[in-house]
Amino acid sequence: MVNAKSYKLVFEVLLIGVIMVLVFRVKLPLPSSLYRDVNLVADPIGFDESSSLWLYRLNPVKAARVGLQKALSILDGVGVYVPDDVKNAIASLENSDVDVYFVLETPDIVVYTDSKSLLHGLRERNLAVFDRGSGTLRIRPIDFHKVLEFVEAGGFRYRLGFELNYKASFDAKLGVSLRDYQREAYSSWARGGKRGVVVLPVAAGKTVVALKAIEELAVKTLVLVPTIDLMHQWFENIVKLLSIPPSKVGLFGGGKREVNEVTIMTYDSASTNLENTPTFFGLVIADECHHAVSPSYRKALENITAPYRLGLTATPYRSDGLHKYYEKVLGPIVFSLGSSVLQSRGYLARHREERIYVALSEEEYREYRRLMKIYLDFCKKAFPNIKNPKERFRRVLELASKSQEAREALRAKHRARKIALSSEAKIRVVEELLNKYGSEKVLIFSRYTDIVREISRRFLIPRILHDTPEDERKECLKLFREGKVRVLATAMALDEGVDVPDASVAIVISGTGSHREYVQRLGRILRPKDREAVLIEIITKRTEEPSLARRRRRFELFEEG
């Protein structure tokens, strides 16, 4: 629920930049003098031959050049009524003698000017495009400050038809000192024009770098996060470590719709709501920013003017290649430090990795082979010349929407994989490991929920799944943090976007081929400690799982073409 203060703020933001549009039609032929005069105050959009009507759009900068009274006389001559707000805009421009006028027409900003050199310069630099449908020169909010730099460098005077005030009213004071590498990361970002991506391992304190940016810049700030859990964690950190009053911090996502001087918003909420506040935020912090370059989230970041942008991630590169858009929406990678460096300097725990191989029972193996044969026979028939497993799988996915046989093949592959990744032999190994590490805090990860439920039931271990209620999830993590619970089991619910209390042993029953998943799971055991952490993978022999395990330990970049 939005409180009264937050609602008022949202309302004020949405009123910023009331659209000033005056489009009118002119019947031809006109006396040549009147035709010439109309072009002195408006820009032609198009001509309708069937009705002999010219469509025009008032250009307030042109109208101001000829003066309000003359402009009104010209428009009155062709029967155009001019609303008071348009008259006031023209009068204000006439008094300040401006060359450029910017108006919000969400999701774009429209540029009004009578300078051909400015128009040419903006289009030549790909900072603006001419929209023939509306007859306007339009810029994306993300490019607004670049456009202002160009306008100011050219000596053009400008006015804004909307409010632009990024300054925050709070006085933030960071309550912790930055480590040396955190200071270096922040300095690199600041030198890069306060735009860019900082890459640090899980548990290395990326959040503190962002909090330093909030303290230093003192502007209205948007924090983007992938999960509701992270949204609440950021709220707690901002209030606790920056001493910003809770009344200045809004939550947007999970049923909350608060916009405030610091707003923490989920990426999903941003994709549909961020364009409602295009000029409000001065700083954007994109946590787990590998999400930010997905198409819908990228579009949301293009629709706001925020000049300062900071991305945070432990896994910057995406296998689909979309990391190439960092430069566009956040800025380039300006700082990167691997876990091995921080381990050598004592900031992260040293670790070792073990792999334990198990075999399917004869019954499980026969069923696995039968199911995989269904899938592979379909691939051979549908794509006889494609040998690459990843490419074959992609093709089957494409066919599944229109082919029953392709859907059956996918189902068979899924069932086969589930057998390989969730065998009874793995549960026996888990039992042995729990006995071996009886005094350690242990996290158990699996791709599938069934085996997590079975392990939870058999060994009386708390579990966290995607359908675990929020209160229960928080209580489990609290008990784990306090040491009252020694083991937690999860199926993909703690891989990212959750502040998991420190553990010293991670048991991976199963996973995907995702390198990001591997890095996130490893990061759960790397908080500093006085002993070596252990990551243990349980892998089923004679299946596709050994290949999956190798893939996730090495990163494969998507290559276009």
Instruction: Confirm whether 558 is domain-assigned.
Output: no
Shared-domain flag, residues 409 and 436 = no
pLDDT digits (tens, 9 = 90+) for 350-367: 999 999 999 999 998 999
Instruction: Confirm whether 168 is domain-assigned.
Output: no
> Residue range 531-558: average pLDDT?
82
Shared-domain flag, residues 100 and 206 = no
- pLDDT number for residue 419: 85
Instruction: Confirm whether 31 is domain-assigned.
Output: yes
| Rounded-to-5 percentages of helix, strand, coil across the chain | 45, 20, 35
Shared-domain flag, residues 415 and 466 = no
Burial of 362 from C-beta contacts in 10 A (0-12 / 13-18 / 19+): exposed
Domains held by the chain: number: 4
Shared-domain flag, residues 417 and 462 = no
Contacts of 70 (CB under 8 A, 6+ apart): none
pLDDT digits (tens, 9 = 90+) for 458-477: 999 999 888 888 888 889 88
pLDDT digits (tens, 9 = 90+) for 144-178: 999 999 999 999 999 999 999 999 999 999 999 99
Instruction: Confirm whether 234 is domain-assigned.
Output: yes
Shared-domain flag, residues 187 and 336 = yes
Shared-domain flag, residues 284 and 366 = no
Instruction: Confirm whether 1 is domain-assigned.
Output: no
Identify the bridge partners of residue 24 per DSSP, sorted by sequence position.
56
Instruction: Confirm whether 173 is domain-assigned.
Output: no
Query: Considering 128, 160, 192, which residue would you say is the last residue of a domain?
Result: 160
Shared-domain flag, residues 184 and 66 = no
Least confident stretch, 30-44, 135-149, 237-251, 284-298 = 30-44
- pLDDT number for residue 500: 66
Shared-domain flag, residues 400 and 532 = no
Q: Cα–Cα distances in Å, from 491 out to 47, 282, 454?
A: 62, 38, 12
Q: Looking at residue 277, which CATH number applies to its domain?
A: 3.40.50.300
Q: Looking at residue 95, which CATH number applies to its domain?
A: 3.40.1170.30
Shared-domain flag, residues 38 and 62 = yes
The candidate with the shortest Cα–Cα distance to 210, out of 228, 230, 169, is 230
Tell me which residue range forms the domain holding 82: 17-160
Instruction: Confirm whether 172 is domain-assigned.
Output: no
- pLDDT number for residue 508: 93
pLDDT digits (tens, 9 = 90+) for 173-219: 999 999 999 999 999 999 999 999 999 998 899 999 999 999 999 99
Instruction: Confirm whether 42 is domain-assigned.
Output: yes
Shared-domain flag, residues 129 and 235 = no
Least confident stretch, 24-38, 290-304, 543-557 = 543-557
pLDDT-derived band at 561 (thresholds 50, 70, 90) equals very low
Shared-domain flag, residues 455 and 500 = yes
CA 524 to the chain's CA centroid: 22
Q: What is the mean pLDDT of the chain?
A: 88
Residue 226 in this model has a pLDDT that exceeds 70: yes
50 SS3 class: coil
Report the amino acid identity of residue 470: E
Shared-domain flag, residues 66 and 154 = yes
